[in-house]
Amino acid sequence: MATRRKIAPCLWFDGNAEEAVAFYVTLFPDAEVTQVSHYGDGMSFPPAGTALLVEFTLFGQRFQALNGGPEFPFSEAISLSIDCKDMSEVNHYWDALTGEGGEESQCGWCKDKFGVSWQVVPAGLGTLLSDPDEGRRARAVQAMMTMRKLDLDVMRRAADGQD
């Protein structure tokens, strides 16, 4: 069993934490719900029996999903970044996260149908964006700025002046 990490991101939902977590654990291969606590009688927010806190893991990282109410909606100020091994994996996560009410943004960022922001990052992006050749790097960034879902092959061709 993995060592329990001291820090776990807590995502604040407006009553749909269980639905969101169910979506995430089906989307990611190494994911599971580890514990669910529920609101009891006489508590101020949703009906008794509604999930209060859902604890889950994605690739060994512990998360918490809190049904806290409408006071604090998600924003792009924080996002979850997915390192993808290839374009097939980029497509898998991008399509799932932007489908059924999700939203595409720019430069590999999107929101899922619950409002959580994600970055879908192809392997090799960091290397390309830190290329020591300033011209290559600038052309790669310029290409990236026109994209929603990132395509590293297109960015590499642009970096090489083959656009």
Q: What is the pLDDT of residues 49-93, one digit of tens each?
A: 899 999 999 999 999 999 999 999 999 999 999 999 999 999 999
* 103 and 127 fall within a common domain: yes
CA 159 to chain centre: 27
pLDDT band at 3 (very low <50, low <70, confident <90, very high): low
- Domain-terminating residue out of 39, 67, 95: 67
- pLDDT reading at 155 higher than 70: yes
Question: Structurally, how many domains does the chain consist of?
Answer: 2
CATH number of the domain residue 50 falls in: 3.30.720.100
Is the four-CA dihedral 15, 118, 63, 72 of positive or negative sign?
negative
Q: Is 74 part of a structural domain of the chain?
A: no
* Whole-number pLDDT of residue 44: 73
Q: Is 1 part of a structural domain of the chain?
A: no
* 94 and 141 fall within a common domain: yes
CA distances from 78 to 42, 53, 162 (A): 33, 20, 34
- pLDDT reading at 118 higher than 70: yes
Q: Is 72 part of a structural domain of the chain?
A: no
* 111 and 147 fall within a common domain: yes
* 20 and 86 fall within a common domain: no
Q: Is 56 part of a structural domain of the chain?
A: yes
Please, what is the average pLDDT of the chain?
A: 95
Other CB atoms closer than 10 Å to residue 56's CB: what's the count? Answer: 24
Q: Is 145 part of a structural domain of the chain?
A: yes
Enclosing domain of residue 15: 10-67
* 144 and 89 fall within a common domain: yes
Q: Is 102 part of a structural domain of the chain?
A: yes
- In eight-state DSSP terms, residue 137 is H
* 84 and 140 fall within a common domain: yes
